[in-house]
Amino acid sequence: MFLMAFADIVKFVHPGALEQIMAGEVGLELTQGLLLLSGFLAIPISVIFFFRVLQHRANRWANIIAAASTVVFGIGAGSTMLSYIFFATLEIVFLSLVVLYARSLPKQEASADPRFLNPLGEEQS
């Protein structure tokens, strides 16, 4: 996720990029559908939360699905700029490693961390 943020930041240093954005020329029409599609950016950050609360098997599948969907989004929303290709390639490599690691985890059921589910330390009945 941070790699795509870096790719966007690097895009700003290309000559004329900021002027085009300020003039409203971003290469495509900004619509509500496009903003909804940008919700895919929330997938990688949500995996951090799910890691803490999901059981082992569900956590494994959440990692695999999140990594695969993020790769598809990164390729589909891509650019032909060399800097973007560099960052997208790195992201695909690291997300592929996430999938391989998630698949190779031992098949054991781990319970969610009770401190996270009950952060105030209240007694449960």
SS (H, E, C) the chain: CHHHHHHHHHHHCCCCHHHHHHCCCCCCCCCHHHHHHHHHHHHHHHHHHHHHHCCHHHHHHHHHHHHHHHHHHHHHCCCCCHHHHHHHHHHHHHHHHHHHHHHHCCCCCCCCCHHHHCCCCCCCC
Residue 117 pLDDT level (bands cut at 50, 70, 90)? low
* Separation between Cα atoms, residue 102 and residue 71, nearest integer Å: 16
Residue 73 scores a pLDDT above 80: no
User: For 9-24, what is each residue's pLDDT tens digit?
Assistant: 887 777 877 787 777 7
Residue 5 pLDDT level (bands cut at 50, 70, 90)? confident
Structure pTM?
0.64
Q: Any residues with CB less than 8 A from the CB of 47 and at least 6 apart, and which?
A: 62, 63, 66
